[in-house]
Structure 1
Amino acid sequence: MIEVRNLSKVYTTKKGTVTGVDAVSLKINKGEVFGIVGYSGAGKSSLLRCLNLLEKPTSGQVLINGVELTALSNRELRSQRLKIGMIFQHFHLVSSKTVFENVSFALKAARKSSKEIEARVTELLGLVGLSDKRDVYPSQLSGGQKQRVGIARALANNPAVLLCDEATSALDPGTTKAILGLLKEINKKLGLTIVLITHEMEVVKEICDRMAVMQDGKIVEEGNVYEIFSNPTQPLTQQFISTVLQFDLPPHLLENPAGTIIKIQFKGSIAEESVVSDVFQKFKVRGNILHGKIEYIQEIPLGIFVMELIGEQSEIAKAINYITERTKSLEVIHHAA
């Protein structure tokens, strides 16, 4: 659906050249939600804007549905851009125009008739839940409502691809969840391919099928969201995942533990099994759960528990072996002195 081949974007500044995107190659499948994660300056916004050539790549190719955008004339590119919608962090609505007029802008640019515009805008405002706001101005809307207008505007010309440039970063958590739910609904209902950039792993966890992590203009890790959350291989990815799944124990818990402190990761169906209670029945150990959390990613459970096992060392060793066999993921954090 979307293919990026050896793409680079170099900016020329007064201090010299800056590489925003560095030889990136990427494939995004039709109908999936793909997240691009990175801190500020990682190159994710530059890469996203290269997908519709708002930023012209310095080198490399961008193909959407087999059409090489980087080889098109300006007129041909304008035509192809009608198939690529885009929503922005700060909405970019025209303050002097009503909701209806903001959404109809792209349709007028595509030379649609008044009748077509009326029907399409009415349909879109119903889709995003703003039918009662068609004649109000952006200043009368909340942040979430403004973003819904932006989504409706981006969908006006029935695009095959929707690009989201930090679409929820300016919103509060509750509104963010509602907007992500709307994007997920649109993805399923319309079969849209959605590409979003973010620095928030909660956003990726909530909506994405696959993801890529960027650093210094390069993709350092890429794959299925669940697999990356459950087994991140790169330090930067581990750092991002820690904002959602990991936790630091208070130092005093590690100073003089009565037993052995372990961290267990439960993946998939094993998270719903009685592994911990089985351990207490099978072995002569007691346990204190120090911390625990289960997240559902792509509707699949992923759990992390930190617990202290207390008892004879031989029994603790047996318990650890048993848990390791069941979960395939156990780390000893601290042994009692």
Structure 2
Amino acid sequence: MITINNLSKVYRTKKGEIKGVDNVSLTINEGEIYGIVGYSGAGKSSLVRCINLLERPTTGNITVDGVDLTTLKSEELRQARLRIGMIFQHFNLVSQKTVFENIAFSLKAARVPASKINDRVEQLLEMVGLSDKRDVYPGQLSGGQKQRVGIARALANNPKVLLCDEATSALDPTTTKSILKLLKKINRELNITIVLITHEMDVVKEICHRMAIMQGGRVVEEGKVYDIFASPKEELTREFIESVISFELPETILKKVSGTLVKVVFKGEVAGESVVSDTIQKFAINGNFLHGSIDYIQEQPLGIFVMELTGGKAEIKKALDYIGKRTALVEVIRHGV
């Protein structure tokens, strides 16, 4: 659906050239929700704006639904952009226009016949749950309602791709969940490919199938969301994950731990198995759970536990080897004293 090849975006400023995007290549499959994560300045917003050529790449190319956008002339590009909807962090609604008029504006810009606009807007309002706000102005809406208008407007011309640039960053947690639920519904029912730019790992964990982590304009890690949460490769990725799933133990607890401190990751069905209790019965060791949880990512369980193992070094090594064969990861945080 979307192929990004060797894409770079260089901004020329008075202080010199700044690389917003640095030689990025990605493939985003049709019908998936793809997250692009990074801190401010990582290049993620520059990248997403290149996808619909709001920013023209300095080098590289963007192919959407089989069409290389970088080769299109102005009218061809305008037509291609109709198939790419976009929603923004701050909604970008016209305050002097009603909800109906804000959505209808996209249809008029696409030269949709006036006779078809009313029915299409009514259909979109029902889809985003705002049929009762048809004649209300943006100033009378909550943040979540404004974003729903933005989503309806982005869907007006039946796009195949929906770009979301920090779409939930200005919203409270409860409203964020409702917007993410709506995006999942849109993805499922309309098979729209969604590219979601965010710095919030909770958002990615909630709805994305695959993801990329960006830093300094480059992609530093990429893959299935579940796999990245289970076994992150880069320190930056671990930092993002720990913002969602923290396993830092209080110093008062650590002072009491004299055994071997380990982190165990259970993937899929293994998360529900009695691996640890089997291990304790099989080997001459004791186990003490200190911290842990089971999360669900794309409806698959992912268990992460921190525990203390005590016993002879040889038995602990056998136990760790046994656990390692039955789980996704065993990491020794600190050896016993």
The bucket for the TM-score relative to the shorter chain is over 0.9
What corresponds to 2:182 in structure 1? 182
SS at 1:203 equivalent: helix
Counterpart mapping for 1:143-222 below 5 A: 143-222=143-222
Whether 1:225 aligns to 2:225 is yes
How far did 1:316 drift? 3.7
Identity, in percent, stands at 66
One-letter amino acid of the counterpart of residue 261, structure 2: I
2-side partners of 1:209 and 1:321: how far apart?
31
> Contact between 1:21 and 1:43, CA under 8 Å: does it hold in 2?
yes
Decide whether aligned partners of structure 1 residues 26 and 315 sit closer, same or farther in structure 2, where only a CA change above 3 A counts. Answer: closer
2-side partners of 1:237 and 1:317: how far apart?
28
SS at 1:120 equivalent: helix
> Contact between 2:11 and 2:17, CA under 8 Å: does it hold in 1?
yes
How far did 1:309 drift? 2.4
What corresponds to 2:301 in structure 1? 301
1-side partners of 2:33 and 2:153: how far apart?
19
Counterpart mapping for 1:230-309 below 5 A: 230-309=230-309
State the superposition RMSD in angstroms: 1.5
How far did 1:286 drift? 3.3
> Contact between 2:212 and 2:223, CA under 8 Å: does it hold in 1?
yes
2-side partners of 1:233 and 1:259: how far apart?
27
One-letter amino acid of the counterpart of residue 89, structure 1: Q
One-letter amino acid of the counterpart of residue 145, structure 1: Q
> Contact between 2:291 and 2:307, CA under 8 Å: does it hold in 1?
yes
Decide whether aligned partners of structure 1 residues 332 and 157 sit closer, same or farther in structure 2, where only a CA change above 3 A counts. Answer: same
One-letter amino acid of the counterpart of residue 132, structure 2: D
> Contact between 1:263 and 1:331, CA under 8 Å: does it hold in 2?
yes
TM-score, normalised on structure 2? Answer: 0.96
Per mean C-alpha deviation after superposition, the further-off stretch among 72-81 and 317-326 is 317-326
> Contact between 2:247 and 2:292, CA under 8 Å: does it hold in 1?
no
Q: Give unmatched runs, 5+ long, in structure 2.
A: none
Listed one character per residue, the Cα deviations across residues 213-263 of structure 1 (whole Å, up to 9, x for unaligned) are 111111111111111111211222122122123421112323342432221
How far did 1:311 drift? 4.1
Counterpart mapping for 1:5-44 below 5 A: 5-44=5-44
One-letter amino acid of the counterpart of residue 295, structure 1: D
SS at 2:53 equivalent: coil
How far did 1:310 drift? 3.4
TM-score, normalised on structure 1? Answer: 0.96
Count of matched residue positions in the alignment of Structure 1 and Structure 2:
337
2-side partners of 1:315 and 1:8: how far apart?
53
How far did 1:313 drift? 4.6
One-letter amino acid of the counterpart of residue 324, structure 1: G
> Contact between 1:161 and 1:194, CA under 8 Å: does it hold in 2?
yes
One-letter amino acid of the counterpart of residue 204, structure 1: V
SS at 2:184 equivalent: helix
Listed one character per residue, the Cα deviations across residues 26-74 of structure 1 (whole Å, up to 9, x for unaligned) are 1111111111111111111001001111111112211111111111111
Whether 1:112 aligns to 2:112 is yes
2-side partners of 1:243 and 1:173: how far apart?
15
How far did 1:12 drift? 1.1
How far did 1:333 drift? 2.2
2-side partners of 1:71 and 1:12: how far apart?
23
> Contact between 1:254 and 1:334, CA under 8 Å: does it hold in 2?
no
What corresponds to 1:332 in structure 2? 332
2-side partners of 1:236 and 1:328: how far apart?
20
How far did 1:23 drift? 1.5
> Contact between 2:125 and 2:134, CA under 8 Å: does it hold in 1?
yes
